[in-house]
Amino acid sequence: MLYIEGGTKSQQKLSKELYAFFSQEMQIKKPIDVDLRIQDIEDAQAWTDHEGDGKFYIDIEKDLNTDQFITAFFHEMVHVIQHLRNKPISEKEAYKLESKFADKFILLRDNG
């Protein structure tokens, strides 16, 4: 379940679409809770924290443009998957997959 705090109405709507797309693409079956905060962040575009038992926190910078927001969201969700699968956190993997998901989402959005 995605819980959203802050951001604009369009950012909140986009976040729900991104979460649904990512969940389907990654076939997430385990119940997870993601608290997304869209707010001012110093020294980063976004970050993720894991509390355990399927509970995650993601903060995303509120002033990102739409494409940056999409990319940051997917990057952080890759880290969520890494936690769920007990894999080491890999920035390399996150950067690789963020582009794959962002490109596919944008293509479907623009053609759908």
Q: pLDDT tens digit string along 58-109?
A: 999 999 999 999 999 999 999 999 998 889 999 999 999 999 999 999 999 8
Q: Which CATH class is domain 2-111?
A: alpha beta
**What residues does each domain of the chain span?**
2-111
Q: Using a cut of 0.85, tell me whether the model's pTM lies above it.
A: yes
Buried b (16+ CB within 10 A) or exposed e, 59-84: bbbeebeeeebbbbbbbbbbbbbbbb
DSSP codes, 2-51: EEEEES-HHHHHHHHHHHHHHHHHTT--S--EEEEEEE--SS-SEEEEEE
pLDDT digit string, tens, across residues 6-17? 999 999 999 999
Distance, in Å, from the CA atom of 2 to the CA atom of 77, rounded to the nearest integer, reads 11
Cβ neighbours around 44 below 10 Å, total: 10
